[in-house]
Structures are given as structure tokens and as C-alpha cells.
Amino acid sequence: MTTGAVSSAVSPVAIVCGNGRLPLQVAEAATARGRPVFLLGIVGIADPAIERFPHTWIKLGQGGRAHRLLTERGCREVCFIGGLTRPSLSSLSFDWRTIRLAGRVAKLFIGGDDKLLSGIIDLVETEGGLKVVAPHDVAPEILAPAGPIGRREPSAAELADIRLGLDCLRAMSAHDVGQAVVVGRGRVLAVEAAEGTDAMVDRVAELRRVGRIRLPDGTGVLVKAPKAGQDRRIDLPALGPRTVLGAERARLAGVAITAGAAVVADPVELVAVADRAGLFVYGIPGEGV
Amino acid sequence: MTTGAVSSAVSPVAIVCGNGRLPLQVAEAATARGRPVFLLGIVGIADPAIERFPHTWIKLGQGGRAHRLLTERGCREVCFIGGLTRPSLSSLSFDWRTIRLAGRVAKLFIGGDDKLLSGIIDLVETEGGLKVVAPHDVAPEILAPAGPIGRREPSAAELADIRLGLDCLRAMSAHDVGQAVVVGRGRVLAVEAAEGTDAMVDRVAELRRVGRIRLPDGTGVLVKAPKAGQDRRIDLPALGPRTVLGAERARLAGVAITAGAAVVADPVELVAVADRAGLFVYGIPGEGV
């Protein structure tokens, strides 16, 4: 019965998997630390590669089925990781248990992302009896470190732009507005809201192309930070190679994210992309820059 | 010598004309009030229709020439009106007087729009000996009135979105970020920076088309307000029929601007467009909503 004792002592952490490589990184890191995992891949969104871990597939809205599966597996903790486009009510497959909660679910769809996410956490904890943990509690390896990540370091002028971007994000965050801005030479060039970070960076590329932004190539910084008061167990800002490629197309100098409060997807490829492009990727220390 | 006495008693107000119909509205209103005007059309930007008023054409950067012309005409006050894409240094035709000030001019191009504009005012006043006045000092008719402009009025929910938009703009304005946001059902959907208001509204249309914004048609409000601490003699937010047409394409419910602190271009056409589209256009009272 030793096996049974171990499995109840160390219950598997449930990982609800959105898109991208991050769910796999979390599962790998947790497994390497000796923590069993159980992955719930969201159909049509999660990478099929999650199947190499203990897993099942669920549709968005199947809260009741997910809850039953996790209970059967002995999961007591759950984390959410990977991107998820804000769903429409009609795209969800509600099961009965979720429909009973429909009034509370519907409320989540009115208001900003923060409300949506904190509402999901609240539902899972109060109705599901599960503890929502941060992916970085299970896999601290995914958090951005402080200082330069990759070869290049930001200059003093670039650090000043990073500081301005951070100040601007903090000022907006009370209103649940995006997690990213682009700043160039003391001027805020773009602010993220519903479009998402990559679309905002693409906009900077386009504004440069048409001459609406006339800064020299290689100026401008993308700054990402979590919103103030945001529940960091879920939806920390994430940075991956695709965003660095976008920053290169937008002819930025680099990308800055909050160290310890942002996750890095595919770090090896990200550094390779940044170094090849000559961009800095910088982890902003907790005290700011 | 009566004519000479009159012309020195009521010196013409100089109107530096950017694009659009607003410079003409200001010139018409000032003339109707008995104030002589002298228009300086910016080549390639101002509407050729300014030629029905006393006028001359100048190129951007010809500060010395403009100053000489205004002195010859006896102008002691100048106002700036109409849109102006942020110029690149290389697109300007600097004359010698302006080149002497080049160090100060160059500084204007580092930093946000507020710095650019307050720098221009400072240069014109200290170097040119002219007083910079607001277009609405000369033509109060161009300011937005409080309350509904057009047939439709905003609902209570729409007023709540207007309030959120205004709060968000105020929070950002210390960082010299844009003058407009789009808010829908308690969520900030888009924030204007370098792209300008019309491009931001077009983005909302596109995010709706691709399903990234899933609010029902006819929800969402464009909110425009001046930045806090902005010098209102120059660059007040402006609203014209084109922006209302954009709001219609983005399937918004309406547009709100700060009464007494925003200008309305082409008001007759604007109301016609809004009424036909069923959109509200609302002047936010000074005390807020």
C-alpha cells in the first residue's frame, strides 16, 4: 500500500491548459520536482503535446465534468496556464453543474478581464472545493529573472523609457486596462487593451511604416507588467518568442517585463531570437528601474 | 487716417490653419463678431478654401517668415487650429530665424505631444512677442455644449461607460497619453496613443469583426477628453463627422466629449450623420457624469 500512501500524501496538481508551450513547461518543471500532475487540455486550444502527461480533454464550460475528474484523481490544487481568447457565451459548452451557476458565470462576462479571472477563481474555490494556485508556485522556473535575459542590455535612455512605460501601466491598472505599452524616447506610442500585446506591437510596426511614428529604427521599448491588484495566481503577463519577433518587426530596441511577476515561454528560443535580432529582453527588478 | 487707427485698435487675430474645416469655422465666427482675421495656411495641410479670407501660405518650420508677415499685418495674437500630423524634422523647411532656435526646436521632438505643443507656445511668445490665444477665445461657437448634441441621449449604462472612460483618461493623462478611449459595458476596449482617434475607432471595428470584441452591436462609447494639465490654447480634442462615421462602422452606441473643453467640427453635418446612424453625441458636463 506504499504507492497508495504516497499518492494521497502528494496529490497531483491539476493544470488547466490554454494554448502555447507554457502548460508543458509547467508540467515538466513540476514533474522534475517530483510533483505529480494531471493536465486538463481545453479542446481546440491546448497543444496536443500535453498528451505525454496524465491528462484529459475538456471543453470550455464543462466545469462540472472537470470537477468530477479532478476529484476522482485526488487533486486538491489547480492552476491555470496558457493563453485563452476571451470566450463568447455562445462558444461555451455548459454542463448542468455550470448552468446552475449560470447567473454568476454571466456576471463574469460584464466588466474587465480582472473581474472575469477573479470570478473564475472564486467559483472554483467556493463551488469546487479546490485551491487555485499560481503556475509559478508549482514551477518557479517560468518566472522572468531580474536583469538582462540574453546578450544585450538596455541603455540609460532605454531604461528611462521602461520606467515611463511602467508608470503609465500602473496609472491605468486601476481601470483594468491592458498589461502592455510601447514607449519610445519619452513618448507613449501604443497602449494595449482588447487587441492583445501582439496586435499592439504589430500596430507600432504599421504606424512606423506609414510614417505616423517617425522615431529611428531600433528605438522604442515594449513594457509588460501585471495590473495592480490583479490576482497573480492566474493571467500573469507572459512573454514568448512570438512577441520578440513582433518587436523586431516593429523595429523596437527591446522588451521589458517585470521580474518575478511575468512568465517566460520558451526561454531558450526566446533568447536565441532576441540575440539574433539584437534586441534586449530585460527583467525589471521588483524595485523598478 | 481713420482706417489706420481702427486697424491698430482692433489688430487682426492670426489663425495658423491645420487641416479640416475648423480653421474656416474659427475665421467665420471671428469675422461675424467683427474681429479681423489673418490666416496662415500650412502648405499641403490647410484647406484651400481659407483663401476667401485675408491669408498667406507658409511651410512648416518657416517661423521667421510667419513672424515677419504677422508683424507687418499688425497681429499681436495668434491661434492654432486644425489637425497636424506630428512632423518629422526632415519634412520641415527651416528658415534662418528658426534654425537659430534649432536647439530648442529639436528638444520639442523628444517627448510627448504636450511637450511639443507647450514648447511651440513658449517659442512663439518669448521669441515672437505674440500672444497665443485659444481658438475658442476668438470663436466660442466651436466648443461642445453640455448634454445631448443630436436626437439620441445616452442610457444610464452608457453614462456609466462614459464615466469609466473619463476616469481612465484622467489616470493616463499625467503620462501624456492620448485623448480618447473606447469603453463597452464596463470594459476599456481601446486606448489611443500615436495612432490617433480615428485609427483607434477603426481598430474596434476590426476587433469586433474578428470576434476579439464580442459585445452586441450598438454597445460601446468613444470618450474624448483633454489631457490634464494640457495647455488648452492649442490641441483641444476635436470631434467631427468623420469620427462619428467611424463610430458607426465600429457599431458603437455613441460618442462623448467634454463640454467646453473639446471642439466640434462641422456641427450641422455631424448631427445629421449621428441622427441618421442612431448614435448619441454627448457633451460631458464640466462636473462629470
Q: List domains and CATH numbers for chain A.
A: 11-138 (3.40.50.20), 143-284 (3.40.140.80)
Cell triple for B88: 518629422
> What number of other Cβ atoms are within 10 A of residue A229's Cβ?
11
Pairs of residues, one from chain A and one from chain B, whose beta carbons lie less than 8 Å apart: 104
CA–CA gap between residue B165 and residue A41 (Å, rounded): 37
- Where is average pLDDT lowest: A123-137, B162-176, B194-208, B262-276? A123-137
Give the long-range contacts of residues A109-114, CB within 8 A, separation 24 or more.
Answer: A110/B185, A110/B186, A111/A176, A111/B185, A111/B186, A111/B187, A112/A175, A112/A176, A112/A177, A112/B186, A112/B187, A112/B188, A113/A86, A113/A176, A113/A235, A113/B187, A114/A176, A114/A227, A114/A229, A114/A230, A114/A231
According to DSSP H, which parts of chain B are helical? 2-9, 22-32, 63-73, 96-100, 102-108, 113-128, 135-138, 156-173, 197-209, 241-249, 267-277
The pLDDT score that the predictor gives to residue B73 is: 92
Nearest to A177 among B168, B176, B207 (CB): B168
Asked whether the beta carbons of A176 and A111 are under 8 A apart, the reply is: yes
| Top-confidence residue, B12 or B233 | B12
B193 contacts A188? CB cut-off 8 A: yes
Extract the residue ranges of chain A whose pLDDT is less than 50: 1-8, 86-90, 105-111
CB contact under 8 A, B212 and A194: yes
Query: Cα–Cα distance between A287 and A147 in angstroms, integer?
Result: 12
Determine the residue among A84, A172, A173, A200 to mutate to test chain B binding: the one whose Cβ has the most chain B Cβ atoms within 10 Å: A172
Interchain contact, B188 vs A176, CB within 8 Å = yes
Strand partners, B190: B182
C-alpha cell at position A265: 515561454
Task: Give the closest of B187, B189, B194 to A189, CB-based.
Answer: B194
Q: Which of B37, B258, B239 is nearest to B167 (CA)?
A: B258
In angstroms, the separation between the Cα of residue B172 and the nearest Cα of chain A is 6
pLDDT value of position B125: 75
Tell me what pLDDT residue A283 has: 96
Residues of B in contact with A178 (CB under 8 A): 191
Quickly count: other Cβ atoms within 10 Å of residue A258's Cβ.
23
Tens-place pLDDT, residues B103-160: 554 454 444 555 555 666 666 777 778 888 989 999 999 999 999 999 999 999 999 9
CA distance A262 to chain B (A): 22
Q: Residues of B at the A interface (Cβ-Cβ below 8 Å)? A: 85-86, 88, 110-113, 115, 164, 167-168, 171-172, 174-178, 181-182, 185-196, 203-204, 207, 211-214
A105-128 tens-digit pLDDT: 444 444 455 555 566 666 677 777
528611462: which residue's cell? A160
Rounded Cα gap, residues A250 and B169, in angstroms: 26
Average pLDDT over all residues of chain A: 84
Q: What is the side-by-side strand order in the sheet with B254-258? A: A147-148, A280-284, A254-258, A221-224, A180-184, A187-191, B187-191, B180-184, B221-224, B254-258, B280-284, B147-148
What does the H/E/C string look like for chain A? Answer: CHHHHHHHHCCCEEEEECECCHHHHHHHHHHHCCCCEEEEEECCCCCHHHHHCCEEEECCCCHHHHHHHHHHHCCCEEEEECECCCCCHHHCCCCHHHHHCHHHHHHHCCCCHHHHHHHHHHHHHHHHCCEECCHHHHCHHHECCCEECCCCCCCHHHHHHHHHHHHHHHHHHCCCCCCEEEEECCEEEEECCCCCHHHHHHHHHHHHHCCCCCCCCCCCEEEECCCCCCCCCCCCCEECHHHHHHHHHCCCCEEEEECCCCEECCHHHHHHHHHHHCCEEEEECCCCC
B193 confidence band (pLDDT: 50, 70, 90): very high
Mutation to test the B interface, candidates A91, A179, A195, most B Cβ within 10 Å: A195
CB contact under 8 A, B190 and A194: yes
Tell me which of B115, B170, B175, B222 to substitute to probe the interface with A (most A C-beta atoms closer than 10 Å).
Answer: B175
Question: Grid coordinates in use for B283?
Answer: 457633451
Residues of A with CB under 8 A from a CB of B: 85-86, 88, 110-113, 164, 167-168, 171-172, 174-178, 181-182, 185-196, 203-204, 207, 211-214
Predicted local confidence at residue A81, as pLDDT: 87
- Residues from chain B contacting residue A168 (CB–CB below 8 Å): 172, 175, 177
**Cross-chain residue pair A172–B167, CB shorter than 8 Å:** no
Supply the pLDDT for residue A120.
65
Cβ distance A111 to B85 less than 8 Å, yes or no, reads: no
Task: Give residues with Cβ within 8 angstroms of B10, minimum separation 6.
Answer: B34, B35, B36
pLDDT tens digits for range B211-248:
889 899 999 999 999 887 777 777 688 899 999 999 99
B54 and B17 in contact (C-beta within 8 Å)?
no
Q: Please indicate whether, in this complex, the C-beta atoms of A212 and B191 are within 8 angstroms of each other.
A: no
Q: What is the pLDDT of residues B29-85, one digit of tens each?
A: 999 999 999 999 988 888 999 999 999 998 877 777 888 888 899 999 999 888 755
CA distance A285 to A257: 9
Contact A86 B214 (CB under 8 A): yes
Q: Which residue of A has its CA nearest to B184?
A: A111
CA–CA separation, B8 and B74 (whole Å)? 7
Q: pLDDT class for B203, splitting at 50, 70, 90? A: very high
Q: Phi/psi at A38 (nearest 5 deg)?
A: -140, 115
Q: In the prediction, which pLDDT does B178 show?
A: 72
Give the residue-averaged pLDDT of B250-275.
94
Task: Summarize the confidence of residues B81-98 as an average pLDDT.
Answer: 57
Alpha-carbon distance B104 to nearest alpha carbon in chain A (angstroms): 16
- Give DSSP secondary structure letters for B131-148: EE--HHHH-GGGBPPSEE
Which of A188, A213, A215 best tests the B interface by mutation, with the highest count of B CBs <10 A? A188
CB burial string B114-147: b at 16+ within 10 A, e below:
bbbbbbbbebbeebbebebbbbbebbebbbbeee
Specify whether the CB–CB gap between B131 and B70 falls below 8 A. no
B111, B191, B212 member nearest A177 (Cβ): B191
Tell me which of A191, A201, A206, A217 to substitute to probe the interface with B (most B C-beta atoms closer than 10 Å): A191
